[in-house]
Structure 1
Amino acid sequence: MKPLRLPWLWLGLWLLLVAAVVALSLGSPPAGPDVPAGDKWQHLTAYGVLAAGAVQVFRGGRPLLVAGIGLVLLGAGLEIAQGTLTADRVMDWRDAVANTAGAGLGLLTSRTRARDALLRAAPAASA
């Protein structure tokens, strides 16, 4: 993890977001306007936010790569779970593609100055 002030708090908040995505993915689908490909944008955005959050919490290199791969596997696994474990959800490979694209876009924030925004806001206290 990055040398943040209260690193376990930030990790916990990120894991809470991951858990929220899991719960929303396996719960009853929310009612909403019928927007063409609207749910694909939701998948793209959710996984983009999760991956951008991972960029803030995890060091670059292997830790961030593991988090990114974990998000891609989570997205694919949740799609399979929707098709096999729920009665009111369906598996859609296009959702998994949107999840993967969102995770990739979120990880791209590691290539910008924004990668250390949380570190600048909450640096670890110096000894």
Structure 2
Amino acid sequence: LLLSAGGLLALYLLAWVMIGIGRAHVWLAEALLAPNDRDRRVGELERARADVVDDSAATLRRVERDLHDGTQARLIAVAMTLARAEEQLADPDKADRARRLVSDALANTKDTLTELRDLVRGIRPPALDLGLVPAVQT
């Protein structure tokens, strides 16, 4: 009878010991597997870098849109005006020279439009000219 009572007491105490061991195991796992200060800092820097890249891409899109909507639209208007002027030059005395000048201006305007489109596609953040490491630091 005494041995049975001792077994029941040991069984009760063993449950509490197992709970304590389980809690110690959880605490140890959290301590070993939880992110440390360096990991948290790396996460913050990655988020900051993503924000900077998004901001720079938005700025690039804005510049591209402004160039497309502003300068390009004006150049197209000039080209259309020159094309109309070329059609309206009917004076036989000055027509050849004027037509040649207007044709040259029209060709220059078309070339400018092409260069402007290429420029807009090739714009990149100026920090990349310094290299990747300074760009990331910036």
TM-score range, shorter chain: 0.3 to 0.5
Say which structure, 1 or 2, has more relative contact order (CA 8 Å, 6+ apart).
Answer: 1
Higher fraction of helix: 2
Q: TM-score, normalised by structure 1?
A: 0.34
